[in-house]
Chain A
């Protein structure tokens, strides 16, 4: 199957700083990517849909000014957690839609964010 990478895999930052997480589709182009958040022992929650060349679509309850999403190219979407606080500590997972063939989505391995 197709490969989606995330960088970094793990990040620790101080409260009040901003953190950028990258999501890349390595062997296909993705006009649409998705960002999820996973709390320990809980399910993945869809945060937003990232659309190449246009604004992201956020799910209800997700602060768009807090979680900035940029999808500047067909292989890269970034999620920036601005002014991070300890409650933002979580596991962030992206996925990318592969419109070739079966038209499915592939998930990245996730990024563990810890805010001190």
Chain B
């Protein structure tokens, strides 16, 4: 069975500082991995995804994530956060693009 763990429930970061969100997964085969962002009143928006190839994936809004098979991790990073990055972030794993298992989410607060 596939599962996702996001160890950090809530992270507070200063505007302009770097951000890293952790994600660990459990999956029997080569996984499809995703990061989504959810802002209040809006649907989940895909930030980036990994299927194969280069283990460092670039996404939208300046985010990137690195797949590390040996650590079963897919951590999300951004070098310099903006106040608009305050949101809830979800890591997900799936056997394809659609039937996904999500982590519990990490809430990011950005302080001025």
Contact = CB atoms under 8 A, between A and B. Distances in A.
Contact of A107 (B9, B41, B43): B43
Contact of B99 (A49, A93, A106): A49
Contacts of A4: 43
A32 interface: yes
Interface residues of A, number: 24
Contacts of B99: 34, 46, 49
A46 B100 contact: yes
Chain B interface size, under 10 / 10 to 19 / 20 to 34 / 35 or more: 10 to 19
Contact of A44 (B46, B90, B98): B90
Interface string B74-112: 000000000000000010000001111111110000000
B56 interface: no
Nearest to B99: A46
Interface in B1-46: 4, 9, 36, 41-46
Contact of B98 (A93, A97, A110): A97
B97 A93 contact: no
A41 interface: yes
B41 to A, nearest CB: 6
B43 A108 contact: yes
Nearest to A6: B43
Contacts of B36: 107
Nearest to A94: B43
Interface string A48-92: 010000000000000000000000000000000000000000000
Contacts of A110: 43
B9 A109 contact: no
Interface of A: 1, 4, 9, 32, 34, 36, 41-46, 49, 93, 95, 97, 103-110
Across the A-B interface, the 7 shortest Cβ-Cβ residue pairs? A107-B43, A107-B44, A43-B102, A44-B102, A43-B104, A109-B43, A108-B43
Given A49-B99, A105-B97, 20 more contacts: A1-B46, A4-B43, A32-B98, A34-B98, A36-B102, A43-B90, A43-B101, A43-B103, A43-B105, A44-B90, A44-B100, A44-B102, A93-B43, A95-B44, A97-B98, A104-B46, A107-B36, A108-B43, A109-B42, A109-B43
